[in-house]
Amino acid sequence: MAEVILHRAAPRRWQIGVAAMPYLLAGPAFALMLLLLIGPVLTVLLLSFTDYQLGAPGFGFIGLENYTELAGEKVFWKSLGNTLAYVGVVVPAAVGLGLGVAMLIESGRSWRAFYRAAFFVPVMATLIAMAITWEFMLHPQFGLINLMLKPLGLAPQNWLNDPKLALWVLAGIGIWQSFGFNMVLFLAGIVSIPKHLYEAAEMDGARSGWDRFRLVTWPMLGPVTMFVVVITAIRSFQVFDTVHALTKGGPVKATEVLLYTMYAEGFEFLRSGYAAAIAVVFLVFVLILTVIKARLLDRKVHYG
């Protein structure tokens, strides 16, 4: 009788072990995600409800006071507006330029590897080297860009110290940094398009390059385009390095962006609780924008 009970219990224990195996295998990854992603986000969220200052021995919970102060702070709204303007320029320009360069490279017959490497160099450029180079090129007296404007009869500009120009100059640098990465992604998508689709389109009367692009290339690049737009938008919202290296948010807050405001409040003024509130608003804003973009673009995506 005991042998029969053991014989029946063994398969049951085996089934429990098999059912638990996925959780055991996913456990380490979940622990890392909890430690490196979820944990810090929850910590920042809790910190945003406190008056904690960096280095202070203690802190107290103040509820929504940090968020109330944010709502009435002109610097915050200025940095939010600058961030939205930066994203509104960089995203369409970097995506369109990346697609255009990818199409030109793929349609060429020689020097493909050289052009791919040349356009991808800005993606790999280090912050210090990039800052020194652009600061020299944009110098109001001996900068290369102003020297190029003289033969055209245009007056030299103080690019980084003019409140009307500084943000757009940084946006141009952002486009320069981003479009090479987008180009690589679009190249991968173009190469994966089956050649017989172009042959079928040509048989149906699509003989011009524009017709082939409109009927075949663009619809088949739907998934890649959705990914590129969302990634470029997120990276644009995270702009910080060029602002910190070139303008420090100036002149007169003309280039102040959300991440730089968060950095200044947290590490210059040591208001960690207030900086955490800015971080939470930033994360929520990026999340909402990402979801909206993904849903709107997914309606026009064709998965082959």
Backbone dihedral region for residue 139 (phi beyond 0: left; psi -120 to 50: alpha; all else: beta) = beta
Cα 191 → chain centroid: 24
Rounded to whole angstroms, how far apart are CA atoms 109 and 83? Answer: 40
- Count of residues making up the chain: 304
Rounded to whole angstroms, how far apart are CA atoms 68 and 76? Answer: 12
- Read off the amino acid at residue 63: G
Contact in structure between 46 and 272 (CB atoms under 8 Å): no
Contact in structure between 255 and 166 (CB atoms under 8 Å): yes
> pLDDT value at position 185?
94
pLDDT at 80 over 60: yes
pLDDT tens-place string over residues 121-162? 888 877 777 888 898 899 888 889 999 988 888 888 999 999
Contact in structure between 70 and 285 (CB atoms under 8 Å): no
> pLDDT value at position 2?
45
CA angle 7, 11, 13 (to 5 degrees): 110
- Six token digits for residue 161: 């110290």
What's the chain's Rg over C-alpha atoms?
26
pLDDT higher at 19 or 67: 67
Which long-range CB contacts under 8 A does 35-44 form with residues at least 24 apart?
Answer: 41/283, 44/276, 44/279, 44/280
Residue whose entry in the numeric block shows the structure tokens 């940090």 = 66
**65-298 carries CATH number 1.10.3720.10:** yes
- 251 CB neighbour count, 10 Å cutoff: 16
Cα 198 → chain centroid: 33
Phi first, then psi: what are they for 256, rounded to 5°?
-70, 125
Domain segments of the chain as ranges: 65-298
pLDDT tens-place string over residues 218-253? 889 988 988 898 889 889 998 998 999 899 998 999
> pLDDT value at position 243?
93
**Could you tell me the CA-to-CA distances from 210 to 18, 79, 193, 219, 230 in Å, in that order?**
55, 40, 16, 13, 26
User: What is the average per-residue pLDDT within 23-49?
Assistant: 85
Work out the burial of residue 137: count CB atoms within 10 Å of its CB; fewer than 13 is exposed, 13-18 middle, 19 or more buried. Answer: middle
Cis-peptide, bond into residue 251, ω within 30° of zero = yes
Q: What is the DSSP letter of 154?
A: P
Phi first, then psi: what are they for 61, rounded to 5°?
-80, 130
Q: First vs last Cα of the chain: how many Å apart?
A: 60
Average of per-residue pLDDT values in the chain: 86
Q: How would residue 69 be classed by pLDDT, with cut points 50, 70 and 90?
A: very high
Contact in structure between 290 and 238 (CB atoms under 8 Å): no
Q: What's the helix, strand, coil split of the chain in %, to 5?
A: 75, 0, 25
Rounded to whole angstroms, how far apart are CA atoms 173 and 123? Answer: 11
Residue whose entry in the numeric block shows the structure tokens 């052009």 = 115
pLDDT at 170 over 50: yes
DSSP string, 204-235: TT--SHHHHIIIIIHHHTHHHHHHHHHHHHHH
